[in-house]
Every structure is written in C-alpha cells, then in structure tokens.
Chains A and B, each alone.
Chain A
Amino acid sequence: MDSRTKATRPTMNAMSDSKQSEVTSFIQTKSFKIAEKGASVACYHCGEHCDDTTIAAGDKVFCCNGCRWVYQLLADNDMTDYYAFTEEGRITPAASKDVRFEYLDNPVIQEKIIQFRQNNIARVTLFLPQIHCSACIWLLENLGKLDRGVLNAQVNFLRKEAAITFDETKTSLRAVAELLAAIGYTPDFSQTEAGRPRHMVVERSLYIKLGIAAFCFGNIMLIALPEYLSGGTLDADFRTFFGYLSIALSVPALYSVSDYFKSAATSIRQKIITMDVPIAIGISTLILRSIYEIITATGSGYLDSLAGLAFFLLLGKVFQKKTFHSLSFERDYRSYFPIAVIRKEGSQEKNIPIEDIRIGDQLLIRHHELIPSDSVLLSDEALIDYSFVTGESAPVRVAKNERLYAGGKQTGGLIEIEVVKDVSQSYLTQLWNQDVFVRHSSRITTISEKVAHYFTLSIFAIASFTAIFWLIYEPSLAANVFTSVLIVSCGCGLPLSVPFTFGTTLRVFASNKFFLKNEKVVERLAVIDTIVFDKTGTLTLAQTGTLRYEGASLTEEAQSLIKSLARQSTHPMSRRIFESLAEAELQPVENFVEVQGGGVQATIQNKLIQIGSYRWINGGDGIKSLATETGTRVFVAIDRAVKGWFAIGSEYRQGVKELAESLPSSMKVAILSGDNDREKHSLQELFGTRAEMRFDQLPIDKLNYVRQLQTAGQHVMMIGDGLNDAGALKQSDVGIAITENTASFTPSSDAIMETSQLKTLPRFIAFAKRSKKIVYAAFALTLTYNFIALSFAVQGLLAPVIAAVIMPISAISVVSFTVLAVTWSAKKIKLNPMNTVESAVINHAD
C-alpha cells in the first residue's frame, strides 16, 4: 500500500454514510494515482519537487520546515484527511513567514477589522488570496480543530474570503492571523476595508428586482392570455377584473425599473440623452395609457408588454454587470502599504495605524517592509528596493541621514527612520493627488450614447409628425397614434444590444484570462491606436532577471573559488552568483575582506580571488573594452587577472517577441521605463524603429506622456504592472494592469491581464473591434422590428397583442444573435469561447 493511503485510512473511521465514503475513496484513489505518476521525491505536503535539502519525518519527506510543521500540526489534530483531498498543488507555507501581525493586538486596528463583537465573540471576514481548491475550503473550515478558540469558519470561494467567528477569551485576532499565515493562507488586510461589502449590496438589489420583474411578467402575461385568445369576446366582468389585477401587478414591476427613471432624470438635467431617456418615456406612456384604457373600459392595456420590458431590461443589466468577485480594479497606494507600522515612543515600541503617522515620528522598518512615507534614515545603512516606485529592480544602498522615499522596501535588517512628510504628501503618493484620480470621464463617447441621441430625436419626430397628420384627418386617433409610437419605440431590442454583446465579450475575455472592469472598456478597446508599454515588470520580468556571465570561460576550479568567496558576502549580487554556481564545490576561505563600495576578496587555495567593481579590482588587459559601460556589473579576478563579469540582465517575458511581431503596423507603440537606457538596443531589436522609447521616467512623467499623446488625438492603451504606472494607467483610455497571478496586487486599472496572455493582446483588440461591429448589426436588427411595429403604430392599429408578440420576439432574437455572433467571432479569431465566469476565475488561480 502506498504511504499516502495508509496515512489517511486510520482517520476515516467515522464516515457519516456509505455514499459519502464512496465519494471520499474515489477522491482518495485519484490522488493516489497522481502521487505515483510523479515518482521522484516530491514533498509530502506541498507536492513540489524537493531540492537536495529534504527533511524527513517518519516515512514522509518534506521540502522545507514550513511544510513539515503544517503536516505535524494536521497530524496532531487528526486532520490528515486533508491529504486525501487535493489533486492540485498545495501551498508551500514557507513563502509567507516574513509577515508579522503584532499590530493586530492594537485595539484601534482591531476596531477597523472586526465586523461584529459581542460578549467576547468576534467575527471577521478575511481576504485570503491563496484560496484555490477544494482542500483549501476543507482546511479553513476545520480551523476550529487547530485553534480551539475558533468557533466557526466559512469560506466564500469565489470571493476568496473566510468568515471566521472566534472567542476572544481563548484566542485573538492576531493568533488567528498567524495560524492562517503559518498554514499558507496569509490574510490580506489591506483590502478588507471599505468598498468590498457595498459592491455586494448593489448586486443583490439587482437580483431582487429581476426576480420581482419576472414574477410580474409571468402573472400579467397569464391573465392577459384570455383576452388575446378569446378574440375580443371576453365577458366584460372578466375584462374589468383582469384589468385591475394587472394594474396591481404592474406596481412592483414599476418599482423594479425605477432606476431607469432616476438615471433618465439625471441625464436630462445634465442635458445629455442616454438610452435611459427613451426607455423612461416609453414606460411612462405605457403605464399611463394602459391605466386610462382599463379605467375607461376602452381596451385591455399593454401592461404585459410593460412587465416583459422590465424583465428583459433587467436581464440585460444582470448579464452585463457580472463582476469578478476576487479581483479589484480600484486599488490605490493604500492597498500596497501596511495598515500599521511600529512607532518608537521613548524606549517602547508601539504599533500604530498608518493614518496616525505624524511628521517627526520615529519608525522601525523590518526586513521586507515598506517605508510608508518620505523619511530620513537614522540607522547606519539601509538597502532599499524601489522597484514599486521606479521599476528598477536592483536595491539601492542608503547611508545615514539620507532621504528615503515612500514605497521603498527595506531588504536586510531592521532600520530606524524619522518621518519628514505626511503619508499622503510623499513623493510617490502625490501622484494620487493629481486631478485624473479625482474626476475621470472618458473622452470617447460610447455607441449607445451616440445612437440614443439620434434614436430619441427621430422617434419624437415620427410621433409628432404622425400625430399632426391624424389631427388633420381623424382627430380621435391622434392621441392613440402618438402614444403607440412612443410605446413601440422603446421596444427592448435596442437597449439589449449593448449589454448582451459586450457582456458576452467580457466573458470571452475572462476565459482568456483578461478581466475587464466593465462593458465600457470593450468599446474603448476597439478604438485604441497607440499602445504604451511599461518596460520593467511588463515586458521584462521584474524580480528574476537572469544572471549573465561574460568573459573568459571559467574552469571548474575557478567556479569553485568564486562560489566559495561569494558565499561569505550578504550582498544580493553575491547571493545571486552563489546560487548560479550550484554545481561547484565549496572550499575553505582565508583572509576574507569586504570593502565598502568596492567588493569582496579572499585567499582560497593560495589564490587571491576578488569580486567587485572594475575600478576596485583595477586592471587586467584585454578586457578593458567591456568596462566602457557601467551598471550593475561585478567583475571577477583571480590573482589580479580579470576573468570576466557578472551582470543581471532583464529577461523578456515569454510572448514579447510574438507580441512585437503581431502588432498591426498602424498601431503606434511607445515604451516607458523608470530604468536607465542600458537595454535600449535589445528593445529596438524587438520592436523596431517605430517604437518611441523613454527612459528614466518618473511616475508623473509617464502620466504626462500619456496625456500628451491624448492631446495629440491618440487613443492610448497603457500596459503596466506597478504602482509607478498607476498614474499613466488612470490617465489612459484603457489601462491594463499585467500580473503573474491575479490574486496578487495590481494598481487601479480598467482591466487586469495575466502575463501569459501578453502575446494575445493584438487579437484582443481585434476581437473588441468585431464586437463593436456586432453591436451595430444588432442595432440594425432591432430597427427592423421597430420599423414593423411602427408601421402598425402610425396607422393606429397597434393592438396590445401585437406589442405583446413583437416585444419578446425582438428581445429573444437580439439576445441570441449577439451571443452567437460574439461566440462565433471568438472562435474565428482563435480565442477560447465563453465558459462560465466562475470556472474561469477558479481556473486562473491554479
């Protein structure tokens, strides 16, 4: 028997019924097979292939102590069922060990996070971006077994949230957070603040309205049928009864479309005609005329059409509003910053919320923590990674009393800083004080805005013209015709075209790992003529630039010497060199010296080895030509003879080449970089001469560059990844944040794209263009229906039954036309066709 099944079996002694045990054993055999397939040494916990550093415990092998610890914890609590669950990889807990949660003991911060608290029972909803599989749900919902203070835990998978209720006398918020982090689910506190729950309320009210409209539609239609089928011979008593009943039933239907009246009123006040205006006019005419007809017993009214209209309109709204629960498009710098920092107060250290930072405060910043506001360094030395701000990946060394900028990340030991500027006034955060962040209205008018304008005007023209015509020839018909035209015109085909076309387009994009904020982005995407790329992190990989070596080839002995020396130093470059020479042997080192701003040297095997700057090593013939360029290069010398140099070169993302080749020649391309221009040459090779390149760009420069292009009449798409692109992303017509993993942070943007899809970008744009054409085709289709209905209306022949037939037919045909056409166009352009949004969101986490 495989060790895996052996481990799980003793714990399965209490199956609640036999059916369940069948299911569980099915899951078990499945994971057993997979375990056999990956025959080499895989970590028992996370399933990753272990390096040579394995940790054995009993008959299990683990890749790291973190994994072993989690296994031990689960085993101790009789929870090894967890290993029977997963088919996908489990989370390696080691990744999150740097996060500290002392600040959660501060009552002020607790107050912000805890949603509900009574008699020492507290409830929190935590965002856990690592949630990705069914085993995650199982483990998190059994949290109470690992911490007896946790009373209940419930996972919302789509939102990647866990609602946890705990007893504050037995555990604390901090203890829960630390336990979650230890088992691999580090809670993300930056986003649990305002904004997220409100979203949900809006969505719920829409579903409620849809339900009400469906109820009214069904019932009014039912009681309208006798009238239609009897051919006008219906008993008068019945007619009155049905009439008043349908008036009563249309009251909730009116409530369900109340939003259309509100937005029509706002748009009229702003003197813009949106699609809501003809809808509101149509609905009012419908209801008034129907009530008049029923009360005067002159007809049966059009209330069934009214309810149907309400139902289809709301259906369109729901279809288009589909949101991606676990993604956020509205993040600003606050999402990146910690929610608390440590302030030094005399000899004490106190956790304070970030808003309470005042100028003059002395803060402690630990390894891998962000500097929250512009400060001065009080410690002797700091190594700051500014990749968030500038995109430059190499850490910067800062000396005592020098300035530190907000957004930098300390790498190395603990440092002490003194705040010189408020958080919101810092160099980086000032970007958010720009007016683009306050008010943003797109300069591109949407199709429906344009069409609504002409449509409404022409409907009024037709209505008035025919009314005047009938006033002359047959005055009794004029009111009838006027209202009929208005009723028919708001027929729902037209307002449905946009939601269903772009709603389907959104879903196709989502199944291709390209997530758009809303349907308006599709329209803007279709008119893009300029693409601006950020370089670092977008075209190149941000953190893991490859280490290159150039120069004389290194013998096995030389490699071993270099590795032995590099091991002595903690400088990041030395670490990289050490890691790159995995094969070489280590040797004892003598006379090790580290020279500030120079390099390191030591004697190994009676040879002097030096690694450091060219000037420091000072010399070596025949290699001078290489030294013409500065940058992050370290030279290697053995017995004063320079062998060559190591450099960290940016590695281009996969697909950048295909992207550069497949961009249509009409598209203007620009590349912005916060970095220096050492890679200009290789970028030009990729993108050719048409790409405009700018280097050493500050975040504000990027924003201004995009604005400048827009002033010149270009429709700009900006693609970036970091906080430093946030301004440009916001300013651009379509701002796309690119990310390795959609669970991680992205700056506020119109769309989020997975890096693997970079090469598909030209196809995405082409697809958006096609979708826009489909909207026009759908408009043409609905206008045909309108034309037929109008031909009845202008003659005064619009019987309720005709309205009741044409309305659903036009709605259904428009919906099926748009959905099918968009799906077909996706296939034609070789994108994955639509699948359900939920599964797309679930799959992208894997």
Chain B
Amino acid sequence: MSVIIVLIAVSLTVATGFLIAFLWAVRNGQFEDTYAPSVRILMDEKNKPSSPSHSNTEKEK
C-alpha cells in the first residue's frame, strides 16, 4: 500500500517538474516566435570566435 503512495508522490513530483518547465518557457517567451528559430539554426556563425573553422569550403575551391 505504501508503495503506491510513494509512487504517486514520485509521479506528481515529475509532473510538477514538467509543469514548472512549461510555465518557465511561457514566461520566458519561448513560444513568442515559432518561426525565426527554425531559420536561425541554419545560419552560419562564422564570425563568432568560438565556432571551429572547418575547411569544407576550402576544398571546394
């Protein structure tokens, strides 16, 4: 019997975690623009110093 109560407590904790994650995402504006991030991910970041410089395009030359 107590096992079930423990399990319910665990499941509620997990669910609350997801709820908090969702609330954070809404407040943080994660759903504000659903289009731009899909484009942004395809953009080059060549001028950012942290990104490693590959030589793919050099070979093409």
By a beta-carbon cutoff of 8 Å, the part of chain A in contact with chain B is: 9-18, 20-21, 23-24, 27, 78, 81, 134, 137-138, 141, 145, 154-159, 200, 204, 207-208, 211-212, 215, 218-219, 222-223, 235, 237-238, 241, 245, 838, 842
The secondary structure that dominates the A interface is: helix
**Does chain A have a CB within 8 A of B23?**
yes
Asked if B44 and A14 sit within 8 Å, CB to CB, the answer is: yes
Closest to A133 in B: B39
**Does chain A have a CB within 8 A of B1?**
yes
CB neighbours of A137 from chain B (8 A): 36, 39-40
A204 to B51, CA, bound (A): 35
Count of residues in B whose CB is under 8 Å from the partner chain? 38
Given A9-B57, A159-B33, A218-B15 contact (CB < 8 Å): yes
CB distance from A21 to the nearest CB of B (A): 5
A125 to B4, CA, bound (A): 52
A629 to B40, CA, bound (A): 60
Asked if B44 and A158 sit within 8 Å, CB to CB, the answer is: no
CB neighbours of B8 from chain A (8 A): 223, 245
Asked if B44 and A16 sit within 8 Å, CB to CB, the answer is: yes
A783 to B49, CA, bound (A): 65
Closest to A156 in B: B33
Given A138-B43, A204-B26, A211-B19, A13-B57 contact (CB < 8 Å): yes
CB distance from B16 to the nearest CB of A (A): 8
Given A156-B36, A245-B8, A211-B22 contact (CB < 8 Å): yes
A235 to B23, CA, bound (A): 36
CB neighbours of B51 from chain A (8 A): 14, 16
CB neighbours of A208 from chain B (8 A): 23, 26-27
Given A207-B26, A211-B19, A245-B8, A18-B54 contact (CB < 8 Å): yes
CB distance from A25 to the nearest CB of B (A): 9
Given A159-B33, A204-B27, A207-B26, A13-B5 contact (CB < 8 Å): no
CB distance from A253 to the nearest CB of B (A): 12
Asked if B19 and A157 sit within 8 Å, CB to CB, the answer is: no
Asked if A17 and B44 sit within 8 Å, CB to CB, the answer is: no
A137 to B42, CA, bound (A): 11
A156 to B19, CA, bound (A): 25
What's the A-B contact tally at a CB cutoff of 8 Å? 103
CB neighbours of A212 from chain B (8 A): 19, 23
Asked if B52 and A158 sit within 8 Å, CB to CB, the answer is: no
CB distance from A795 to the nearest CB of B (A): 34
Closest to A145 in B: B47
CB distance from B40 to the nearest CB of A (A): 7
A123 to B44, CA, bound (A): 25
A207 to B31, CA, bound (A): 10
User: Mind listing 5 A-B residue pairs with CB under 8 Å?
Assistant: A15-B46, A20-B42, A24-B42, A141-B40, A245-B8
12 other contacts beyond A10-B61, A11-B46, A137-B39, with CB at 8 A cut-off?
A9-B57, A13-B46, A13-B53, A13-B57, A16-B51, A23-B42, A134-B39, A138-B43, A158-B36, A208-B26, A219-B15, A838-B34
Closest to A222 in B: B11
**The one of A15, A23, A838 that contacts B56, using a Cβ cutoff of 8 Å:** A15
Asked if B45 and A16 sit within 8 Å, CB to CB, the answer is: yes
By a beta-carbon cutoff of 8 Å, the part of chain B in contact with chain A is: 1, 4-5, 8, 11-12, 15-16, 18-19, 22-23, 26-27, 31-36, 39-40, 42-47, 51-58, 60-61
CB neighbours of A24 from chain B (8 A): 42, 44
A477 to B2, CA, bound (A): 37
A391 to B27, CA, bound (A): 45
CB distance from B18 to the nearest CB of A (A): 8
A138 to B42, CA, bound (A): 10
Asked if A215 and B60 sit within 8 Å, CB to CB, the answer is: no
CB neighbours of A158 from chain B (8 A): 32-36
CB distance from B10 to the nearest CB of A (A): 13
Closest to A135 in B: B39
Asked if A200 and B32 sit within 8 Å, CB to CB, the answer is: yes
Asked if B35 and A157 sit within 8 Å, CB to CB, the answer is: yes
CB distance from B8 to the nearest CB of A (A): 7
CB neighbours of B60 from chain A (8 A): 9
CB neighbours of A155 from chain B (8 A): 33, 36
CB distance from B45 to the nearest CB of A (A): 5
Given A9-B61, A15-B54, A157-B26 contact (CB < 8 Å): no
A430 to B37, CA, bound (A): 45
A297 to B13, CA, bound (A): 27
CB neighbours of A154 from chain B (8 A): 36
CB distance from B33 to the nearest CB of A (A): 4
A23 to B54, CA, bound (A): 15
Asked if B57 and A15 sit within 8 Å, CB to CB, the answer is: yes
Asked if B36 and A157 sit within 8 Å, CB to CB, the answer is: yes
Closest to A131 in B: B36
A138 to B8, CA, bound (A): 48
Asked if A14 and B53 sit within 8 Å, CB to CB, the answer is: yes
The 7 closest A-B pairs by CB, nearest first: A14-B46, A157-B36, A134-B39, A157-B35, A156-B33, A16-B51, A12-B57
- Interface-central residue, B4, B45, B47, by most chain A CB under 10 Å: B47
Closest to B53 in A: A14
A19 to B18, CA, bound (A): 32
CB distance from A79 to the nearest CB of B (A): 9
Asked if B58 and A13 sit within 8 Å, CB to CB, the answer is: yes
Given A13-B53, A13-B57, A238-B1, A211-B44 contact (CB < 8 Å): no
A464 to B5, CA, bound (A): 42
A284 to B60, CA, bound (A): 71
Asked if A21 and B39 sit within 8 Å, CB to CB, the answer is: no
CB distance from A81 to the nearest CB of B (A): 6
A155 to B35, CA, bound (A): 10
Asked if B44 and A81 sit within 8 Å, CB to CB, the answer is: yes
A154 to B43, CA, bound (A): 13
Closest to B58 in A: A13
Closest to B50 in A: A16
Asked if A241 and B5 sit within 8 Å, CB to CB, the answer is: yes
Closest to A215 in B: B19
CB neighbours of B27 from chain A (8 A): 204, 208
A212 to B20, CA, bound (A): 9
A805 to B22, CA, bound (A): 28
CB distance from B19 to the nearest CB of A (A): 5
- Interface-central residue, B4, B5, B35, B52, by most chain A CB under 10 Å: B35
A245 to B35, CA, bound (A): 40
CB neighbours of A211 from chain B (8 A): 19, 22-23, 26
Closest to B34 in A: A838
A225 to B45, CA, bound (A): 52
A138 to B58, CA, bound (A): 23
